[in-house]
């Protein structure tokens, strides 16, 4: 039996944890101890957000196979600001095995100055087969140096569709066995690796969005590389399996599929939108209908609340639409879907009327900080900013990787990341629904990376600094600070 305990996103009044147990035939009964680190641990019964249950749902595994179970549990704590927050120790015992973690809830607010502030850790695109432990070592470095308050996992935390060109089973339970095992290797380390993805999950309370590789490349559309996606029945089966596993491993709420989530810390308000799980094959929509309703309400709130908006998606909202050919062969972008104009119109209006908007994403396998300014005079200094962090560990691309390495060697280049793409310049002119924006790249970053995003208060503004940490070397490259401003009446 292996057990794992990780902090999950909640609010300033709760400590929420994810518990995973593998190697069992039936769900075990955990016992808990919880207390401030400065005090003695005491037996405590947490509230059950989601009970310990099979990550695969009701479908039994193949004969003789043990199951993986997971659940979400929550302890109430007094709300506190960033500087004064105590740390808590959570210990769980299952049978003869125990696991513990030390964590803090989200801050309720943060004060001005260097001792105040709020810190987010951003990550996306993790391929376990390409990781020799570098990500785990880097996650521990980030935890010690920057002490993030929260972690945002922005998609592709697992690659269910590799090895590329593998002939996957086309029926359950064999297919579900394989997909579950893929997830379990990431989330519940087997002890043979000193450093692993688990180190990233331990850094701070985590919120995770899925992207296509939580399903398959370019889901829900057929992929030329995944034979299970070539038929409607194959896509439906794989999609149901992947949705159950996302809920079991990554969903930190009790809402199936987590179509959206909101997080408020002091002057920062984050809306995380799941643009993958509810995508329609006819490209009529990428978000669930309830997500759009919630987004409109969230955006409306800024007219009466002096906060600064951040919008998190698994794919960039600034990508230009794919052509029919490139979309079918590789990826469709957010802008290929019918609900994109409505979302961007509302974010555009939010920036004009209330405050600059920050867009957060991963997916593209390079990092970048970009700034967008309207081309027409609006009487304001309206800005949209985008921060991208991708990948944490780059997945293999069959054929292209070998060619890139050979080219690097033949040219005598000392590029430490020959398989990675250079960061492209953001298009100089972006025509979004409702407005045209002039755009410029403030900072590019190439290679395996994590991004530490630091927010500090300024008068009627929020200063944002992105620190890119190179996975493996732990070198830190800091982008120029940009300032998000509120609109004045």
**Of 66, 81, 108, which residue sits at a domain end?**
108
pLDDT score for 182: 94
Of 117, 12, 151, the C-alpha closest to 455 is: 117
pTM of the shown model = 0.95
Same-domain check for residues 50 and 120: no
Same-domain check for residues 27 and 163: no
Same-domain check for residues 357 and 234: yes
Same-domain check for residues 212 and 104: no
Compute the mean pLDDT over every residue in the chain, rounded to the nearest whole number.
91
Inform me whether the pLDDT recorded for 368 exceeds 90.
Answer: yes
Same-domain check for residues 156 and 99: no
Same-domain check for residues 314 and 425: yes
Same-domain check for residues 398 and 420: yes
Same-domain check for residues 7 and 134: no
Of 390, 452, 399, 443, the C-alpha closest to 421 is: 390
Same-domain check for residues 436 and 369: yes
The Cα–Cα gap between 221 and 162 comes to 17
Same-domain check for residues 303 and 365: yes
pLDDT classification of 446: cutoffs 50, 70, 90: very high
**Of 62, 83, 108, which residue sits at a domain end?**
108
Same-domain check for residues 157 and 189: yes
The Cα–Cα gap between 430 and 437 comes to 5
**Of 89, 108, 127, which residue sits at a domain end?**
108
Q: What angle do CA 263, 199, 192 make, to 5 degrees?
A: 150
DSSP string, 32-70: EEEEETTS--EE---EEEEEEEETTTTPPPSTT--EEEE
Backbone angles phi, psi at 214, to 5 degrees: -70, -15
pLDDT tens-digit map of 187-240: 998 777 889 999 999 999 999 999 999 999 999 999 998 999 999 999 999 999
pLDDT tens-digit map of 235-271: 999 999 999 999 999 999 999 999 999 999 999 999 9
Least trusted range by pLDDT, from 91-105, 210-224, 274-288, 367-381: 367-381
Same-domain check for residues 196 and 73: no
| CATH for 302 | 3.60.21.70
| CATH for 66 | 2.60.40.380
Q: Could you list the residue range(s) of the whole structural domain that residue 66 is in?
A: 1-108
Please count the structural domains in the chain: 2
């Amino acid at each position: 039996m292996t057990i794992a305990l990780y902090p999950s996103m909640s609010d300033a009044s709760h400590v929420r944890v994810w518990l995973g147990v593998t190697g069992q035939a039936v769900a075990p009964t955990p016992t808990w101890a919880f207390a401030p680190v400065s005090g003695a641990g005491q037996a405590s019964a947490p509230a059950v957000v989601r009970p310990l249950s099979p990550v695969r749902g009701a479908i039994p595994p193949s004969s003789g196979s043990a199951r993986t179970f997971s659940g979400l549990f929550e302890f109430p704590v007094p709300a506190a600001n960033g500087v004064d927050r105590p740390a808590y120790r959570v210990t769980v015992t299952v049978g003869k095995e125990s696991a513990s973690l030390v964590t803090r809830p989200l801050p309720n607010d943060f004060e001005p100055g260097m001792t105040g502030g709020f810190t987010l850790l951003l990550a996306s695109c993790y391929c376990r087969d390409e990781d020799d432990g570098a990500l785990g070592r880097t996650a521990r470095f980030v935890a010690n140096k920057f002490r993030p308050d929260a972690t945002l996992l922005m998609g592709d935390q697992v690659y269910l569709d590799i090895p590329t060109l593998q002939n996957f089973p086309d029926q359950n339970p064999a297919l579900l066995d394989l997909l579950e095992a893929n997830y379990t290797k990431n989330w519940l380390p087997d002890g043979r690796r000193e450093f692993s993805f688990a180190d990233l999950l331990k850094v701070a309370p985590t919120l995770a969005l899925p992207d296509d590789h939580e399903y398959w490349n370019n889901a829900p559309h057929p992929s030329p590389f995944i034979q299970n996606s070539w038929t409607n029945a194959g896509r439906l089966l794989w999609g149901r399996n992947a949705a159950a596993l996302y809920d079991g491993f990554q969903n930190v709420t009790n809402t199936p599929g987590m179509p959206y989530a909101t997080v408020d810390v002091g002057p920062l308000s984050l809306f995380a939108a799941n643009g993958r799980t509810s995508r329609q094959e006819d490209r009529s929509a990428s978000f669930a209908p309830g997500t759009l309703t919630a987004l409109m309400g969230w955006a409306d709130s800024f007219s009466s609340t002096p906060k600064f908006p951040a919008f998190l998606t698994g794919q960039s909202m600034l990508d230009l639409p794919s052509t029919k050919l490139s979309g079918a062969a590789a990826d469709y972008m957010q802008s290929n879907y019918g609900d994109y104009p409505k979302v961007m119109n509302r974010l555009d209006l939010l920036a004009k009327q209330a405050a600059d908007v920050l867009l957060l994403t991963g997916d593209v396998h390079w990092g970048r900080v970009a700034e967008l300014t309207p081309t027409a005079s609006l009487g304001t200094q309206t800005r949209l900013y985008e921060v991208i962090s991708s990948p944490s560990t780059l997945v293999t691309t069959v054929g292209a990787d070998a060619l890139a390495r050979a080219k690097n060697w033949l040219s005598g280049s000392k590029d430490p990341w020959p398989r990675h793409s250079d960061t492209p310049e953001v298009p100089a002119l972006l025509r979004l629904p409702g407005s045209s924006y002039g755009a410029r790249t403030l900072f590019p970053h190439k290679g395996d990376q994590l991004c530490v995003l630091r927010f500090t208060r300024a008068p009627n503004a929020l200063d944002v600094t992105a620190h890119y940490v190179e996975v493996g070397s732990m070198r830190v490259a800091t982008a120029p600070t940009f300032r998000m401003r509120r609109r004045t009446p």
